[in-house]
Structure 1
């Protein structure tokens, strides 16, 4: 470093010192030629004398020029060497910074994979505001074990394909939902990793918030915001049989679901296909706001990677083209949305058992009656019968029929579905519909179930 800093000044003083010494010899070399005391010379001698001083001066000049050229060459070489050293130094700094950045990135990646543990601290509200895209909190297993009362059975909220979901209470009385994966299969591990990867990057009002996760040996846990009214499936097909869901609330749930899907299809790059949309994966908070959950089967850009995707889904919601030849696109989610819309409309399960070895899908059963205006009011869920404008009922039925078309190209985009539902939902519930006071009282959000 010191060599680089003082090269310039050394060259500067050295150059001026040499120039000061090079100027004086010129008069002394010329003096003998013009001296008045010199003896007379012949014309020939004079001619020779006239050339000889020039030869001597030229020799001296040549010597000086050589010195200067040598000095200039030395300066140029030194400058080039200094530039090379400086470039190498800058190159070293640049690569060191990249190395440190890469190391930090690897450390973050290791954290996501569970190679390090960091206790979950702070309140849920502060976590939401400080959460950064692409990050998720790694939580301590003992903390979650305590929060779930050692995974007490009475705290189970629901049960999925790979484990149970427990109600938990963290410090400062923060209530959350903890999903424990009991299955250690490769499929379960892959779904766990997909869920963490996707939900750590997604933030939307109609998509469940992943607050954290935990890996402790073979045990894997996912921590979500608590949805007080559980799932749409529980509300529709559980003990209450949909009694808490008014017509307007059902339309709000459909609208919220469409908004969540539109975000995945239109605003994520690449497009995210949920692949397992169903009423049990639509969760409801205390105000019946709907949020999509369970992204373990979700894929990105599925239309291009269909050959590498294992056929998965839930019977009754799977689109025909995906079931038959594995074709997976965003229209597959639209089909599943149509089935959910039929559940909201009719109050029936997606697949119902007709005989010991025979089942019937809601699509097959309802399709002939959905397109008959005289029959449609008779098949609507009795809980909401005669509580809606018939024009709105026909419009929702038409949307559902389009969504469950066997040919994917005939199905609408989820954006078109969204825009068709907005005018059917009251302003107070997130739509644009202006309703009378009487209808508003009917659409009032009931107490938590």
Structure 2
């Protein structure tokens, strides 16, 4: 018994240290190394360093018991402590103070509530993630709470907006970078407007960067005490947060216990048209526009700068065509722009509740300053919104959009019939003259006769299977085989431009003198009719300056031929991997090519009408035009993702050795992150002029990825830069190398999206530190491979893999 008594006392003394503490009381201190843990171990508060060094220390709150530290709030974000001397304590005035060596005050709550100095105060970390300060025995009445001072993260129950009683504005502000929690350039806040509806906006500095769709942000409250929006998870009970990234992206994320990681449930701005005022004033931005340019002027307006507009830059917006302004009551009316996001209501707009559509129209018509109106259904009633100046930030919203009525004069009104454009409709005082209708009918009849006559003359031009393709893709031009044979001199070897896994490409010239590229499908390839039709259907839909343009096709018997624009400077690998030609690519041009390829892939992933996974991105599929501008080609292996589909699997692995992501090469799983991996390889090859499947290091054990990764860890990344480059910006090159390493990380979830890649390359976002990449060590060459592995599983040089052995 004498032995057990001291043992019992030992464990009794040990017990307080094994129990988590969630409070700091008066005369208690929290030092560097100590933490508070909320009652149910959901959140933890303590000292941390974002880059795991002691040079900059902060007090913050993060999720407890998660594999990676996810910080949701920072106290001294703009004033780090440079050593481990930090102490957090409550002073006798009820103020929570963070101090450093020499009792220097770093941060404090500065509570505005006057309390008696004899009171006892307590700071507590709640399971909601809220750090609260209160008088003892008055735990329901907070003197101060961290939820009133958000940093870059919203937790469930937190708000953004205004508290009229306290005078506080609650807003998110981004970190400066991933490793610097200081106040960054972006903020997420509510903009109050007494004459219209409040706006929820992401700002970059003082400029609007993204505007939420009015009325769709959840849990909006406006009363005498506050005007705010509460954050709630999309799924009840889930662990969720909203975060404003250092590059301006607002994300909603949900924790997945199955994968031990955060999953994105919402992100904005995600597409080019999502950015505020992408096309300037009085214009429409259409993310699904089939043209190269997403901007279009509103009815009655014309480009402010025709030169910029022709160069696909619509930021200047549009001006009214009317000289001297609109003359009221002179036959003016409205043209309807269908299914669009409401224009910015903070610019000379007014909301009138409970007004019918007809009354709203008349109210705008009676006011000569009114430029547009919209009837909005909310809370079981119809409200009227009218605008009196420039119309900003309008974009097509196929599902959520409403109809905007834009005021035009009688001349402009006459140009828009009920069938003139897909999203435009006439509405107003002017009735279309019968003569115009009759004239239109005559033109239609004449055009129909001309088409019939033309088809009768060329009835042998298109065969039965071609007619079927024409019905499917009426925008395509179909060429007769004899025309193709004449253009290529019967597929002469002299005209051969190159050869890929699915066929050979020839240079050709049409009778009108136009130079073309003719891709002839190999009859022995694995592509076949299905892949050919897939490529035709895909390229016909794609219109982007960094994608090869499809001019037409030819289908005759077993012949399947694509007619493409001819790019005179061949492919990127033709220059990169040639000892003499690589010097023609100076760094500025290489950086332009990197950005062009990134924008092209971003278009495929996010900005086109369908989400497309290329699956065979490589330097030989990056063609160069006369100005050495890059264009992505070869869509024979591409796949379309439907709706919210994020990934897919296949038993038929296709692609090119050295460019395939590990999850695709091994498991047949592909997604947008597979293309991101391939882009990372292309980027590193552009910087170094070295092939990824080459051999590096003395023992020849590493490929390019492994070589770059080793140099990066040793802070010698610039040694990989092509020696033929005489001058370059070191900071820009290092950023590219870092982005390349981020893209080739082993876990697809760790790889950035192409939107994030474009941001990082532009310098608008700071790239995070990369993790271990995939395929660091080069596999054995095919001629020394395991005899159980078929040589068909290897791809020689740049040939495409079209067949794998069963696994």
What band does the TM-score fall into relative to the shorter chain?
A: 0.5 to 0.7
Query: SS state of the match for residue 213, structure 1?
Result: strand
Query: SS state of the match for residue 242, structure 1?
Result: helix
Contact kept? 1:114, 1:138, Cα under 8 Å: no
**CA deviation vs aligned residue, 1:324-371 (integer Å, no higher than 9, x gap):** 22221101100100000000111101211579xx88532122211134
Give the helix-richer structure, 1 or 2: 1
Q: Distance in 2 between matches of 1:186 and 1:237?
A: 28
Q: Distance in 2 between matches of 1:148 and 1:234?
A: 22
Q: Aligned residue for 1:14?
A: none
Q: CA deviation at 1:147?
A: 0.6
**CA deviation vs aligned residue, 1:382-429 (integer Å, no higher than 9, x gap):** 1115x11211121111111111100111111101111222359xxxxx
What is the aligned counterpart of 1:276 among 616, 633, 654? 616
Q: Distance in 2 between matches of 1:176 and 1:336?
A: 28
What is the aligned counterpart of 1:334 among 648, 656, 676? 676
Q: Aligned residue for 2:773?
A: none
State how 1:11-410 maps to structure 2 within 5 Å.
115-116=465-466, 135-185=475-525, 187-238=527-578, 240-301=580-641, 306-308=648-650, 310-352=652-694, 360-373=702-715, 375-385=716-726, 387-410=727-750
Against the structure 1 CA distance between its residues 381 and 354, is the aligned structure 2 distance closer, same or farther, given a 3 Å change threshold?
closer
Gaps (5+ residues) in structure 1? 1-110, 121-131, 425-449
Against the structure 1 CA distance between its residues 334 and 324, is the aligned structure 2 distance closer, same or farther, given a 3 Å change threshold?
same
Against the structure 1 CA distance between its residues 313 and 272, is the aligned structure 2 distance closer, same or farther, given a 3 Å change threshold?
same
Q: Distance in 1 between matches of 2:481 and 2:532?
A: 16
Query: SS state of the match for residue 466, structure 2?
Result: coil
**CA deviation vs aligned residue, 1:178-224 (integer Å, no higher than 9, x gap):** 01112245533332111101011111111111111111111111110
**CA deviation vs aligned residue, 1:121-145 (integer Å, no higher than 9, x gap):** xxxxxxxxxxx98621111100010
Q: CA deviation at 1:237?
A: 1.5
**Which TM-score applies when normalising by structure 1?**
0.62
**CA deviation vs aligned residue, 1:227-258 (integer Å, no higher than 9, x gap):** 11111111112463412111010010011101
Q: Distance in 1 between matches of 2:598 and 2:474?
A: 24
Q: Distance in 2 between matches of 1:259 and 1:331?
A: 15
What RMSD, in angstroms, separates the aligned Cα atoms of the two structures? Answer: 2.8
Against the structure 1 CA distance between its residues 163 and 153, is the aligned structure 2 distance closer, same or farther, given a 3 Å change threshold?
same
Q: Distance in 1 between matches of 2:474 and 2:673?
A: 27
Which portions of structure 1, spanning 4 or more consecutive aligned residues, are displaced by more than 6 angstroms? 111-114
Higher relative contact order (CA 8 A, sep 6+): 1
Report the structure number with the largest CA radius of gyration.
1
Against the structure 1 CA distance between its residues 185 and 317, is the aligned structure 2 distance closer, same or farther, given a 3 Å change threshold?
closer
Q: Distance in 2 between matches of 1:114 and 1:203?
A: 28
Q: Distance in 2 between matches of 1:112 and 1:313?
A: 34
Q: Distance in 2 between matches of 1:208 and 1:113?
A: 27
Q: Distance in 2 between matches of 1:344 and 1:150?
A: 36
Query: SS state of the match for residue 338, structure 1?
Result: helix
Gaps (5+ residues) in structure 2? 1-460, 765-807
**Which TM-score applies when normalising by structure 2?**
0.35
Against the structure 1 CA distance between its residues 186 and 164, is the aligned structure 2 distance closer, same or farther, given a 3 Å change threshold?
closer
Query: SS state of the match for residue 517, structure 2?
Result: strand
Query: SS state of the match for residue 171, structure 1?
Result: coil
Q: Distance in 1 between matches of 2:464 and 2:527?
A: 18
Against the structure 1 CA distance between its residues 113 and 293, is the aligned structure 2 distance closer, same or farther, given a 3 Å change threshold?
farther
Contact kept? 1:284, 1:291, Cα under 8 Å: yes
Q: Distance in 2 between matches of 1:151 and 1:238?
A: 27
Contact kept? 1:117, 1:140, Cα under 8 Å: no
Give the strand-richer structure, 1 or 2: 2
Against the structure 1 CA distance between its residues 305 and 259, is the aligned structure 2 distance closer, same or farther, given a 3 Å change threshold?
closer
Q: CA deviation at 1:308?
A: 4.5
**CA deviation vs aligned residue, 1:69-118 (integer Å, no higher than 9, x gap):** xxxxxxxxxxxxxxxxxxxxxxxxxxxxxxxxxxxxxxxxxx99962379
What is the aligned counterpart of 1:422 among 754, 762, 775? 762
Q: Distance in 2 between matches of 1:323 and 1:402?
A: 19
Against the structure 1 CA distance between its residues 307 and 422, is the aligned structure 2 distance closer, same or farther, given a 3 Å change threshold?
closer
Contact kept? 1:228, 1:284, Cα under 8 Å: yes
Aligned residues: 299
Contact kept? 1:370, 1:401, Cα under 8 Å: no
Q: Distance in 2 between matches of 1:359 and 1:188?
A: 38
